[in-house]
């Protein structure tokens, strides 16, 4: 069912929700392999109104309540795609696939979709010579380094956002960027010299300092954040942190604390990274890591 939604192979059928609303898919969204809805960033016309959000796919509508009806990561869901509608269902526009497909037709459709994914050159591809890999790897490293360098010329704010995305890694890069964007430049400068206030600001904007805390350090950060939030009328971003496929050393709380430390010490300013000696160290480190890999 996920493959069918991702490929949008409907044989020209006019789709309607279980409630009778017309559906026209402008973009099915990006298949999400991490925590959260199955597809994100979907663009769908429902009764001539364009909705942008997420799509969640289940076998039955009741599965919504078994899995994540209380999870805030699923609040942006705009369409629930199911095989069968049952009496227990969420109040979300629902596409019931069994109204359009039988089980045998669904199986044949999935087989057809599998054939599309096969690359024509896969069976005839030969191993690449080691010399070619070395040249290609060096070229890719050069392209990557120049792309990173271009961020240094875009200003302090843009570079700090890029730094936040990097620390958020693949799972939380958009979340980290939205957290940084929710903090004004004036507020950031006012707390930059106080590492505790700066850390509390970034952790608080993610909701990591909400209730249930017992450690003295975290309680202190919570109190600091509440004062800052009331004084500046802060609104946390709507996006929630994702926790799947994250190693302990890359936990969001640790990464956000590291980001706060970098900002406190001035490493969010491009000129700290622009020295030739520093870039040479980074380049050597990248080559060493690639060789080890």
For position 25, what pLDDT does the model report? Answer: 93
Spell out, as residue ranges, where the chain has pLDDT lower than 50.
Answer: 116-117, 119, 289-293
Every domain of the chain and the residues it spans: 2-116, 156-275
Reported pTM: 0.60
- Helices 276-292 and 130-152: crossing angle, nearest 10°? 150
Q: Give 19-46 pLDDT, tens digit per residue.
A: 899 999 999 999 988 888 999 999 999 9
Q: What Cα–Cα distance (Å) separates residue 163 from each residue in 155, 255, 263, 284?
A: 12, 11, 10, 20
What was the pLDDT predicted at 293?
38
- CA atoms of 25 and 4, how far apart (whole Å): 13
Rounded CA separation 56/125 (Å):
37
């Amino acid at each position: 069912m996920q493959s069918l939604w991702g490929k949008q192979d409907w044989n020209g059928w006019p789709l309607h929700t279980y409630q009778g609303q017309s559906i026209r898919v402008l973009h099915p969204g990006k298949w999400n392999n991490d925590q959260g809805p199955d597809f994100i960033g979907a663009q769908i016309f429902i009764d001539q109104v364009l909705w942008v959000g997420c799509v969640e796919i289940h076998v039955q509508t009741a599965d919504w309540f078994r899995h994540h009806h209380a999870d805030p990561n699923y609040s942006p869901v705009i369409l629930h795609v199911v095989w069968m509608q049952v009496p227990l269902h969420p109040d979300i526009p629902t596409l019931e696939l069994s109204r359009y497909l039988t089980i045998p037709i669904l199986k044949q459709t999935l087989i057809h979709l599998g054939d599309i994914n096969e690359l024509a050159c896969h069976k005839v591809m030969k191993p690449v010579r080691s010399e070619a890999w070395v040249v290609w790897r060096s070229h890719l490293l050069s392209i990557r380094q120049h792309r990173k360098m271009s961020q240094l010329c875009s200003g302090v704010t843009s570079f700090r956002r890029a730094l936040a995305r990097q620390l958020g890694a693949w799972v939380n890069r958009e979340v980290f960027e939205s957290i940084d964007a929710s903090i004004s430049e004036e507020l950031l400068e006012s707390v930059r010299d106080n590492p505790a206030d700066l850390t509390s600001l970034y952790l608080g904007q993610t909701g990591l300092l909400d209730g249930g805390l017992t450690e003295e350090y975290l309680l202190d950060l919570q109190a600091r954040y509440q004062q800052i939030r009331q004084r500046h009328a802060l609104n946390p971003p709507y996006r929630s942190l994702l926790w799947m496929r994250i190693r302990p050393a890359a936990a969001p709380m640790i990464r956000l604390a590291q980001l706060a430390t970098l900002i406190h010490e001035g490493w969010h300013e491009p000129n700290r990274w622009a020295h030739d000696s520093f870039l040479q160290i980074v380049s050597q480190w990248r080559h060493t890591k690639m060789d080890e890999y």
